[in-house]
Amino acid sequence: MEHTENGRKHVVVVGGGISGLSAAFYVKRALDNRHIDADISIVEKSDMFGGKIRTLHRDGFVIEQGPDSFLARKLPMIELTRDLGLERELTGLNPKANKTYIVHKGKLHRMPRGLSLGVPTEIKPFIGTNLISPVGKARAAMDYVLPKRKETGDESVGDFFERRLGKEVLRNIAEPILAGIYAGDTYKLSLEATFPQFHQIEQKYGSLIKGMAAGKLNPPPPSKLSEIIPPKDRSSVFLTYRKGLVTVLEGLRNELQDTFDIKAEVKGLERDNDGYKLWLDEGEAIEADAVIMALPAYAMAPLLKDVPDAGWLGEMDYVSVANVVLAYDKEKLSHPLDGSGFVIPRTEGRFITACTWTSSKWLHTAPDGKALIRCYVGRSGDQEWKELSDEEIVFRVKRDLFELMGIGEEPLFVEVTRLNRSMPQYEVGHMDRIRRLKERLRTDLPGTFVTGAAFEGVGIPDCVRQAKDAAEAAASYLSGV
C-alpha cells in the first residue's frame, strides 16, 4: 500500500492487543475529526487480537484467562466503554464479597478494615490485627512523626514503605498487595512509575497514614462519566462486563471493520522520505506516514535498535505468570468463600501467590450452585514454575488450596493459562527513561509513537489512556499541528 496513494495518509499500528486496538480506534476518530483522509492498518503476528485479554465461556462459566477487571476510578476505560456503546454490559463487584484475606503463618487472616493499598487508615482495626506484632505496629506509628524525604529522585516501593511504615508492614501487608499488581520485587519497582501518589501524599501531609486517611474522608467528586455505570455498581472499586472482558475487544473490532488487518511480524523500521517503511517477516514492505508501536518492550527493541535512549527496551525485565482456574460444585466445598479471596506474602513460601474466589467476587461468572476459584502462580524471583508441566502446576495449586482452605474435592474442570513474559517490571528510574526515549523519537523519528504496558501502567485503563494519547499525537503530527 502506498502511503500517499490518492492523497490519503496511512497509519500503521504495530500490535493488536488492547493498546493497539485502542490506538487504532482513537487515531481513526481523531483523523475523522480533523477531516484527514487516512487508511489504518493493524499488524499483528498472532492469530488472535486482544493480547493478554482472553475470555473463555465454558459450561455456563465466564472465565477470564488474563486480567479479570479494571479499576472503576480510572476513567479512560469508562470513556472507551461509552464510546463503544457498551454501558449496559458493565457490572461491578458483589457488594457482599467485601472481605479480603492475607495468609499469615499458614492461616487466612482477614485484612483489617481501613487498609488502602496496604496503608492503614483506621487505627483501631490495625491495632487489633494479628498480622503485625506490637513492635511492628509501634514502628508503623512512627509514620506520624518521621520527616518527609528531602531527596527529589525516584526510589523503590520497598524502600519507601520500609522508611515510612517499617519492614513488618511491608512484608506482611503491603508487599503481597502492591507487588501482586506487578508480580514484582518491591525493592526494584519504581515508586514514581507505579504508585506516584504515595510520594505526593508524603510531601503534602508529611505522613502516609494521615494523607491516605484524608483521601478516604474527602474522596474526589464523582465524574459525569460515572453516570454511565449501572446505579447498583457505582460504588464498585472494580468493573468488568457481564460476558467478560472480551466484550471490549469485540466492540473495538466492530468499530474497526474498515481497517486493514495484516498478519505478520514487523522485522524492521526505516525512514522513507517523509514517512516510513516497515519490513515484514515475508520480506514485504509497507509504507506509512505515521507509526504507532503497541508492542512489549522486548519486541519493540529490535525496531528501535539504532535509536539512542532506546537500549533499555531490550534490557527491561519481564516476569512470567500463570493462572489456574478450578470449577466446583459449591455444595461440596467446606469453605464458605465469604469474600473476594486472599493474597500471600513471599515469606509464606507458597506455590501460589494469590487466590480469587471468582464466583463470590463476580456473580455473573458461575451458574447457580457452582463455584469458580482462580489461583495465581509466578512472580519476580520465582520463575521455576515455568519448567513444570500443567499437571504438576495443578497438583501444587490443589495442595495449597487444601492446606489453606481445606479443599480436597476434585474440581469439575481445570483451566491453566501460561502468560509468558507478560508483566513488565518498572525499575527505579523508569519514568526518566521513558521521557528521554519519547524526546529522542520526536527528533530522530518524528511520526513514530510508542505505547503499551511497558511504559506508563499495566492495567487496562492505563493501556487505553496511553493508546489514546499516542493516537492524538499521531493525528496532530499528520495534521501538521
Q: Judging by beta carbons within 10 Å of its beta carbon (0-12, 13-18, 19+), is residue 312 exposed, middle or buried?
A: middle
Contacts 24+ apart (CB under 8 A), 45-50: 45/263, 45/264, 45/265, 45/281, 46/16, 47/263, 49/16, 49/17, 49/20, 49/21, 49/249, 49/253, 50/16, 50/17, 50/18, 50/21, 50/246, 50/249
pLDDT at 121: 93
- For residues 75 and 223, the answer to whether their CB atoms sit within 8 Å is yes
Domains and CATH numbers, the chain: 5-49+247-316+427-478 (3.50.50.60), 114-217 (1.10.3110.10), 318-424 (3.90.660.20)
pLDDT at 441: 98
Count other Cβ atoms within 10 Å, centred on residue 430: 23
Buried b (16+ CB within 10 A) or exposed e, 380-402: bebeebeeeeeeebbebbbebbe
C-alpha dihedral, 179 to 97 to 55 to 385, nearest 10°: 40
Query: Which residue's C-alpha cell is 519497582?
Result: 189
Count other Cβ atoms within 10 Å, centred on residue 85: 11
- For residues 111 and 101, the answer to whether their CB atoms sit within 8 Å is yes
pLDDT at 2: 42
pLDDT at 5: 54
- For residues 120 and 269, the answer to whether their CB atoms sit within 8 Å is no
pLDDT at 6: 64
pLDDT at 215: 84
Q: Which residues of the chain have pLDDT under 50?
A: 1-3
Q: Judging by beta carbons within 10 Å of its beta carbon (0-12, 13-18, 19+), is residue 184 exposed, middle or buried?
A: buried
Q: What is the DSSP letter of 347?
A: G
Count other Cβ atoms within 10 Å, centred on residue 292: 29
**pTM for this predicted structure:** 0.95
